[in-house]
Amino acid sequence: MFKHSFSYYFRNTWEFIRWDIPRFFKNIWRFRRELKSFGGWDWYYTISMLRRSLITQKESMEKFSNEYEPTLRLKLYYMKRAIYLTDCILEDKFHDMAEARLGYKTVFRDFKFEPIEGSTSKRLVFDEESEEERQANRKIFEELSKIEKEVWNELFDILKGDIYNADMYTEHKGKAYEDVHNGKGLINWWH
C-alpha cells in the first residue's frame, strides 16, 4: 500500500511544517514589493525579482560566508556590479548616461495641436528643430542605444561567468580554486 516507511512520511511532513512553510512566508515578505506589482507580461518584473534575489544573496554572503577572503571580495564586487546594472535597466538611466558621456543635453521643442481642415480632429505639430539640434539629438539617441547594449551585455557576462564545474576537471585541473575563479558567474556565488 505505502511505497515508503512511516518514518519517511513523518520526516517529510515534519520538514514541510518546520522548514518549508516558514521559508515560504519569509520569501513572501522578502519579495513583497516585487510581488505586489508583479505581472507576467513584461521583462521589468523579471529583472526586479532578479535584483531582489541578488541583494538577498549578497547580504547573506557578507554576513555568513566563510569563504577565502580574496575570492569572496571578487564575488561581492560582481554582485554589487550586477545590482547596479539592474538598477540602470529598471530606472532606464541610459538617456542620462548618454548625455553625460557626450557632454550635452537633448533639445526638446514645444508642440501644439492644430485643427485639421474639414474635421473636428486635431493633429500634433512640432516646432522645427535646426539641423544642428537634430544631429545632436541623433547622437544622443545612438549613444543611448550603445550604452543600453553595453549594460545588458555586461550584466549577462557577469551572471554567466567564465568558469564552469566541467572546466575545473579539464582545463584547470590541478589548479587552486582561488587561482581560477574571477568572481563572475551566478553558478559560483554560494556560501
- What is the predicted pLDDT for the residue at 2? 60
Of 179 and 88, more confident: 88
**pLDDT, tens digit, 9 for 90 and up, residues 40-69:** 788 889 999 999 999 999 999 999 988 888
Query: Distance from first CA to last CA of the chain, Å, rounded?
Result: 42
The H or E element containing residue 112 is strand 111-115
- Cα–Cα nearest to 189, from 69, 55, 61: 61
Which whole number is the average pLDDT over 164-177?
71
**Is residue 125 classed as helix, strand or coil in its secondary structure?**
strand
Checking if the pLDDT of 183 tops 90, the result is: no
Best-predicted range by mean pLDDT (24-33, 124-133, 155-164): 24-33
SS (H, E, C) 67-108: CCHHHHHHHHHHHHHHHHHHHHHHCCCHHHHHHHHHCCCCCC
Helix (H) or strand (E) holding 114: strand 111-115
Strands 111-115 and 122-126: antiparallel
| pLDDT computed for residue 182 by the predictor | 79
pTM of the model: 0.78
Tell me the per-residue pLDDT of 143-154, one tens digit each, with 9 for 90 and over: 999 999 999 999
Average pLDDT over residues 161-176: 73
- Phi and psi at 140, nearest 5°, equal -65, -45
